[in-house]
Amino acid sequence: MLYERLEKRKVRCFLCAHNCLIPDCKRGICGVRENREGALYSLVYGKLVSMNIDPIEKKPLFHFYPASTSFSISTVGCNFKCKHCQNYDISQFPKIHDEIPGENVTPEMVVGSAVREGCKSISYTYTEPTIFLEFAYDCAKLARERGIKNVFVSNGYTSPEATKTIAPFLDGNNIDLKGDDEFYKKICGARLRPVLDTIRLMKDLGVWVELTTLIIPSYNDSEKIINGIIDFILSVDPAIPWHVSQFYPTYQLLDQPGTPVSTLIWARELGLKRGVKYVYTGNVPGEGGENTYCPSCGELLIERLGYQIRQNKIKEGLCFKCSTKIDGVWGG
């Protein structure tokens, strides 16, 4: 899907914002789309390396069917090369090895498993789902027919064409908003603008969107960067839930310290003070920033500990105390 044939057996891929120009017998930046004599092939269709049942809170999605489970799947490959990737063993695999590992699975098998396990949704996650769009698309269409919701956990580098293709079958999307443009260039091998455009377009197309910023000391924890992220959220919709999460040393950033809890608390309080309705701290269970409060009366509505829901007082999408609408996808 989403490519054009060019002269000399070259192709241009329109799956993500890299828009790779791929010569014959070569692959795109993601490592899983290969030009074979002027035709672009997905190397990961149905080749899953991970299938798990996760709480939806792990994505993290806090305003999307709380306490439900999500059948989570992934292939290898990614269109980013983040130096702090938690799942680098699968995301960067095709850039290191020639073979493409994975268990051959059909969309019918994925959706059938989700139904049997009582999962409310299917999450396309762990690596960037855009790079296995064809398989995600076929699964999502079938899931919609069976009453199963569809969720992306994404870096947001999805092209406008791909976004418009998947959005009619996509119910939720947690998108990383990692930092400023310099951060994207230095750490991820990408640019900021396409991510911002995808967030806006997903919202415009009716997909429930939440954002996550993994705060890395000395890289994206400055007041300027955090305020820039807040400015953008407010310009799109102050009701977008924003997760500020703790970094811990991994992959190529092993020499960096973990994020101080005080930094997460500061970012959360700054977001709330400036008008973002829902801001959460992540990867620090029990700290208190995981709970949902009414933006009008301040009442505790959802109490969380890690991925567990201790209590949920939202009734039909409203605050039980003052009847303020609480933004989200709560049931049905």
Residue 332's pLDDT is 58
* Residue 22: its H or E element: strand 21-22
Token pair recorded at residue 279 = 């801001």
pTM of this structure: 0.97
Note the residue count of the chain.
332
Mean pLDDT of all residues belonging to the chain: 97
Residue 287's pLDDT is 87
Please give the Cα distance from 95 to 41 (Å, whole number): 16
Over residues 206-246, the pLDDT tens digits come to: 999 999 999 999 999 999 999 999 999 999 999 999 999 99
Token pair recorded at residue 96 = 């290191």
Residue 70's pLDDT is 98
Determine the 3-state secondary structure of 297 from DSSP: coil
| Type of residue at 150 | N
Token pair recorded at residue 2 = 């989403």
8-26 average pLDDT score: 98
Over residues 25-82, the pLDDT tens digits come to: 999 999 999 999 999 999 999 999 999 999 999 999 999 999 999 999 999 999 999 9
Domains in the chain, please, with CATH?
A: 3-42 (no CATH), 47-312 (3.20.20.70)
Do 149 and 122 contact (CB within 8 A), yes or no? Answer: yes
* Residue 209: its H or E element: strand 208-215
Please give the Cα distance from 227 to 238 (Å, whole number): 14
Please give the Cα distance from 157 to 316 (Å, whole number): 34
Query: Residue 289: exposed, middle, or buried by beta-carbon count in 10 A (0-12, 13-18, 19+)?
Result: buried
| Type of residue at 173 | N
CB-CB neighbours of 54 under 10 Å: 18
